[in-house]
Amino acid sequence: MSERRASLIAGLGLGGFVLAFSFAGRFLYRADPYTIHPAHALQAPDWAFPLGTDELGRDGLALLLAGGQATLEVALPAAVLAFVTGLAYGLLAGLGPGWLDKILMRLLDVFLALPSLVLLIFFAALARNGLSNTMLVLLLGFITWPGLARLVRNEVFAQRRRDFILAAQQAGAGPFYLARVHLLRVIAPVLVVNGTFLVGDTIFALSALSFLGLGVQPPQVSWGSLLQSALDIIALAPWWLLLPPGLLVFASLLAASLLGRGVGRGVLRR
C-alpha cells in the first residue's frame, strides 16, 4: 500500500471515528452531562463512570460527548462558511476586472497582517457576555477564509491564460460559465485539500478560543473548555479529565492533516 493510500485511509478512519463518537455517542451512552453527583466528585475512571467525574461530580464521558457535539456543531458549519466565502472571494478577484482584484487583495492583506487567533480574541472580546454559537460560526468562518481566498485567486491567475480558457473566452463564455464549467474542475484538487485543512483550522481555532474562555460559553461545554477546567485543578492531577478532550482535538487535527496529505500526494502525482 502506498504512503498516500495509507494516509488517506488512516485519515478517513480517524475522522470517521471522531464524527461517530461526537454525534452518535450520546445515543449509546445516555448519561446526562450536566447532572451533578456530589458524592462522586473527582473520581478516577471506574465501571460507573468510564471516564471518571469532574470536580462537581459530573460524568466525564457524558461531558466529553456533549463537548464534542458542541465543538463540531460550531466548527463544521464555520468551515463550510469559510470555504464558500473564500472560494467566492477568490474567484471574484481572479476573474473580475484588474482594479477590483487590487482592492480585494489589499483588503485581504489587512486580514492576513495579524495572527488569526489575535483577531479571534479581539472580536470575541467585543461581545460583552460571550458569543452565542451562531455568532461563533460567523466569527470563525469570517476569520479563517482569507487563506483560501488568496489561494483560489492565485490558482485562477495561474490557469486563466491557458489555451482552453482563452478558447472558451473567444467562444463567448462569460466569467460565471468559465468558473463553473472550467476553472472549478481544474482547481478542484486544490480545493479539496484546502477544504480539509479548513476543517482542521476551525476545530483548532474554536478549541483554542474555548480554552481561553472566549468560545463556547458555559454551561455548555466543548473540548477546549473541558481542557481549561481540567487545567484549573491540575494540582490534583485529574489525568482522566485532561487527556480525553485533548486527544480528541489532536485526533481531529491529525485526521485533517492525513486526509489533506492523502489527497494532496495524489494531486501531485497526476
Residues that bind another protein in the complex, under the rule CB under 8 A: 106-107, 109-110, 113-118, 121-128, 200, 204, 207-208, 211-214, 224, 227, 230-231, 234-235, 237, 239, 242-243, 246-247, 249-250, 253-254, 256-258
Say how far apart CA 149 and CA 145 lie, in whole Å: 6
Say how far apart CA 179 and CA 156 lie, in whole Å: 9
49 vs 204 by CB, closer to another protein: 204
Distance in Å, CB of 195 to another protein, minimum:
17
117 vs 138 by CB, closer to another protein: 117
Report residue 98 as a C-alpha cell: 484588474
Distance in Å, CB of 61 to another protein, minimum:
19
Distance in Å, CB of 249 to another protein, minimum:
5
φ and ψ at residue 59, rounded to 5 degrees:
-65, 120
Say how far apart CA 41 and CA 120 lie, in whole Å: 34
Distance in Å, CB of 250 to another protein, minimum:
5
Say how far apart CA 236 and CA 231 lie, in whole Å: 10
24 vs 236 by CB, closer to another protein: 236
Read off the amino acid at residue 171: A
Say how far apart CA 252 and CA 204 lie, in whole Å: 9
122 vs 164 by CB, closer to another protein: 122
Distance in Å, CB of 176 to another protein, minimum:
30
Say how far apart CA 229 and CA 190 lie, in whole Å: 38
3 vs 32 by CB, closer to another protein: 3
